[in-house]
Amino acid sequence: MPPRGMPPRPPRPRPVDPPTEVIPRVEDDYDDEYYDDDYYDDEEEKPAPPPDSVAHKTVRGIGEALITLGLVVLLFVVYEVYVTDLLSAEKQEDATAALDSEWSSNVVTPPPADPNRQSKLNLIEGKAFAKMYIPVFGNDWKFSVVEGTTDKHLEIGPGHYKDTAQPGEAGNFSIAGHRVGKGAPFNDLDLLESCNAIVVQTQTQWFVYRVLPMRNEVAGWAANPKAKEPACAGVAPLSTTLGDAYAKTVGQEIVAPSQGEVIAPIPHQVNATVPPEKQARLLTLTTCHPRFSDKQRLIVHAIETKSYPVADNFVPPEMTEG
């Protein structure tokens, strides 16, 4: 209430509410059929693809066959290169252990003093009778050599061609070995150079062979500074020391698989009638060429230059040439 003497306060005007706005209803432009469940079910069902044509089926079949073939080839390569190496390593270890046991238990007669007479080894097919070392390939390159060159024999390690000379004998002591898989003892045979040492050990003797001059070294060997190196002592083209019968015998050659004359007592001279005392003491190594193929044969010829009797704690100095 206002104080006395004051005129009354006029009443406060009440705010006028705005008129209520009516929003008109928006009618859908779509017909009810678009909201029908059957409509969406029909939209989700895609038409079936057309049947494969004969050409499409053929191409797909060839593609699947090639993939399968590729996997088979890959598995075969893995088996040949790696699995067979492991299997052959076990067989090589067993052969070496048997050879060591035989050597340690047998009492043998020392080799004859006459270097022209060698003690004959009792070679039994499939059994190891010697050890071979190639120092230039490293200290871990060593294999026991077995008698025989069948697939079964070569799975064990390098194999001696039956009916060829024995270690240290006049003639041609010949050995075969795999280049890929099954231990691959001759994988790097193509890396050997003239005068490289190949050492063979029997129960009583060490034999040192050295690779002969290569074909491109024969003509100028006498003037070649390499010929004066200590490692090349006793190494020369055989045609200059033993005559024309050995004209084709060089350090390395590639031949066809049918050319078995490379392991003849005088290589490439199957019908030669040279007496043993006039024959060189050769070592011949053979393997497949090129790698992963048996189309040709890689041949390495070496000549014996030294021999030593086996003795306790003695190792030929040539073994350190690696």
Q: Catalogue the active-site residues.
A: 178, 288
Secondary structure (H, E, C), the chain: CCCCCCCCCCCCCCCCCCCCCCCCCCCCCCCHHHHCHHHHHHHHCCCCCCCCCHHHHHHHHHHHHHHHHHHHHHHHHHHHHHHHHHHHHHHHHHHHHHHHHHHHHCCCCCCCCCCCCCCCCCCCECCEEEEEECHHHCCCCEEEEEECCCHHHHCCCCEECCCCCCCCCCEEEEEECCCCCCCCCCCCHHHCCCCCEEEEECCCEEEEEEECCCHHHHCCCCCCHHHHCHHHCCCCCHHHHCCHHHCCCCCEEEECCCCHHHHCCCCCCCCCCCCHHHCCEEEEEEEEECCCCCCEEEEEEEEEEEEEECCCCCCCHHHHCC
